[in-house]
Structure 1
Amino acid sequence: MSRPWNATHAESHLPKALQGLRIPAVASPLFIISVPALVIAQCKAGVIGSFPALNAREGEGEHPLLDTWLTQIKEELDRHNQANPDTPAAPYAVNQIVHRSNGRLERDIEICVKHEVPVWITSLGARVEVNDAAHSCGGITLHDIINNKFAKKAIEKGADGLIAVAAGAGGHAGPQSPFALVQEIRNWFDGPLLLSGSIATGDAVLAARAMGADLGYIGSPFIATEEANAVQGYKEAIVGGSAADIVTSSLFTGVSGNYLRPSIEAAGMDPDNLPSADSTSMNFGEGSAKPKAWKEIWGAGQGIGAVDAVQPAGKLVDRIASEYHAAVARLAGEAG
């Protein structure tokens, strides 16, 4: 696993945790789907792997599963790094849902501080105390936002960087063009900026960097990997789907999100005539924003047309890395 792209200058303003990656990319935390096996495979392949803290759900009275998962991830990556000193694994990240209904937040923060998690991804609320906790153990925070207003609030409250969630992203996607969103943020912010929204190829990662982002934020393609905690039908729907199969709705969580049309139809609903819901219906008290009746509604972004097979996560990263380097060489040749 080589790192042939010359990123010394491009990375100079980035925190250490975001430097030295195989390609400038972070694997986004996928609800239910991202588990230690996937995170470890992503990190070993050279991109930052991540998972939502709420994915680690233990039974009543059991030891916190988040603590167990973090121990497993750290130990496995340490073994890898000792065996492969020339190609060490990328850092890992944990996503914290900063929402008033997340009753586990304080406990999960304590566990992440204990394990000195290097990258914290925060969603659905920017809070000073969460950023302070990350900084107390040497970590950095990246806050996901859907518009420039929320971006400014996140930085004001101490976030180190931003994840611009633009149109076409899976899950809770924003409505704005990535060009407009990145442009507005870069007018005032020169810190770490990631771009989410149909980033499914190496060409898209390079395009994200060309428009001003530092790294691409890749989600949906990792659903169709062997390590992903998704049912086979979900993985096959990603492989067989395209942008035309993505439906935007607020019904399932109270916040606008993108979902696979076939899963909505399978639940007996008309994807073209879905009622809306407001944010008061969102509840992470049980670790999920979806009612049980909608547990088979599958999230995905518009970039799934680039996914043509279920494969190991490492091979997916290989493909994206190969495309990225080819795109860099092609454009360099045109410029020359």
Structure 2
Amino acid sequence: MQQSPIAELRARLRLPLIAAPMFLVSGVALVSAACVHGVIGAFPTVNCRTPEELDGWLREIESRTSRSSDASGVAAAPVCPNLIVHRSNMRLQDDLAVLLRHRPELVITSVGSPAPVIAPLHDAGALVLADVASLRHAERAVEAGADGLVLLTAGAGGQTGWLNPFAFVRAVRRFFAGPIVLAGGISDGVALRAAEMLGCDLAYMGTKFIATHESMADARYKAMLVESSADDVLLTSAVTGLPTSMLRPSLLAAGLDPDNLPARGAIEIGNDIDIDARAARPKRWRDVWSAGHSTSGVTDILSVAALIDRTTDEYHGGKQVF
């Protein structure tokens, strides 16, 4: 009997894990290292300044991962570009054209319906995973033809979901038998095994990959994650206009009061006449940093290889975690 595409994919992975696509964090070095060490490496295409740079990134990642495959005899894990499909992404069609030339095995769609990109991506041989934050969004993504779903749950970093992961996964499993990826709260291999028991095929790990040597994050950001815990994560709409998990210490460092934030989406938004004043305002993502509830699991800054080794040990029970 022929294996399903997701079963074939999992057979190539060291862990059923995706290094989550993170804005201004996931770059060539992080993604390549994740793939080489047996974890799916994902990144938002908008991390590249232009479609031409996106083409260059994909070529470089393909080069690095193919060299690894040749040396070890084992194919690297897939790279997984993340397309922002919201109408505000004016580069969507250009970025899509680049992906179609490179024919990735997996693509994640975010912030909108995957319907406009599913047919061309399928024609190029890609499986499409749509991220969703509600049951209705999940139903619509399935109806549109998505191959799998990324469930954004309470505790995920960045623009997050609000549903409890236990309830969300089990509710989706009532109507969808395809691949499910759990996003939110995966801080170690024990949590990853729990996600599988819950009914997930894969899971995101994001916050811990921010604090790796290969990530593009500012060194201060990485250090802040080591020093912070889940109690330092604040859910607010003030930064992006949507519910987003942000680090309290970064809000304080940017001169903002976490307990008295401006109106929804007000940070960096305004019509200052004074150019210097406008430039000095804190910028979302650049100066105000995000993290998920798994921040409590970030205890040191590691290489991607060391993080995956540690997570693999936890996953297989080599380290007892109470």
Task: Judge which range, 292-301 or 244-253, deviates more.
Answer: 292-301
In the other structure, the counterpart of 2:215 is 228
Matches within 5 A, 1:264-303: 264-277=251-264, 292=283, 295-303=286-294
Determine the structure 1 residue equivalent to 2:237: 250
Aligned match of 2:42 in 25, 39, 50? 50
CA contact (8 A) 1:119 1:140 kept: yes
User: Which amino acid letter does the alignment assign opposite residue 323 of structure 1?
Assistant: E
> Does the 8 Å CA contact 2:254/2:282 hold for their aligned counterparts?
no
CA contact under 8 A between 1:17 and 1:119: conserved in structure 2?
no
Distance, in Å, in 2 between the alignment partners of 1:46 and 1:327 is 18
Q: Which residue of 2 aligns with 1:16?
A: 8
Who is 1:73 aligned against? 61
Distance 1:210 1:162, change over 3 A: same
> Aligned partners of 2:151 and 2:282: how far apart in 1?
27
2:32 paired residue number: 40
The correspondence of residues 57-136 of structure 1 with structure 2, limited to 5 A, is 57-58=49-50, 64-85=52-73, 87-136=74-123
Contact 2:85/2:109, CA 8 A, preserved across alignment? yes
3-state SS of paired residue (2:49) = coil
Output the CA distance in 1 between the equivalents of 2:46 and 2:58. Answer: 13
Are the aligned partners of 1:206 and 1:328 in contact in 2 as well (CA < 8 Å)? no
Task: Give the deviation of 1:273 after TM superposition.
Answer: 2.2
The residue aligned with 1:287 is none
Distance 1:278 1:136 in 2: 38
Aligned length: 308
For residue 278 of structure 1, report the CA deviation from its aligned partner: 6.5
Cα drift, residue 249 of structure 1: 0.7
How far did residue 16 of structure 1 move?
3.4
Mean CA deviation greater in 253-262 or 11-20: 11-20
- Structure 2 alignment gaps of length 5 or more: 270-280
Shift of 1:33: 0.6
Q: How does 1:128-167 map to 2 (within 5 A)?
A: 128-167=115-154
Task: Tell me the CA shift for residue 141 of structure 1.
Answer: 0.7
Deviation at 1:133, TM superposition (A): 1.8
**Kept in 2: contact 1:168–1:301 (CA 8 A):** yes
Change (3 A) 1:81 1:293: closer
Q: TM-score, normalised by structure 1?
A: 0.87
Q: CA deviation at 1:88?
A: 2.6
Amino acid at match of 1:101: S
TM-score normalised by structure 2 residue count? 0.90
Superposition misfits of 4+ residues, deviation over 3 angstroms: 15-19, 290-294, 327-330
Please state whether the residue corresponding to 1:168 is helix, strand or coil: coil
Distance of 1:19 and 1:57 partners within structure 2: 34
AA aligned opposite 1:47: V
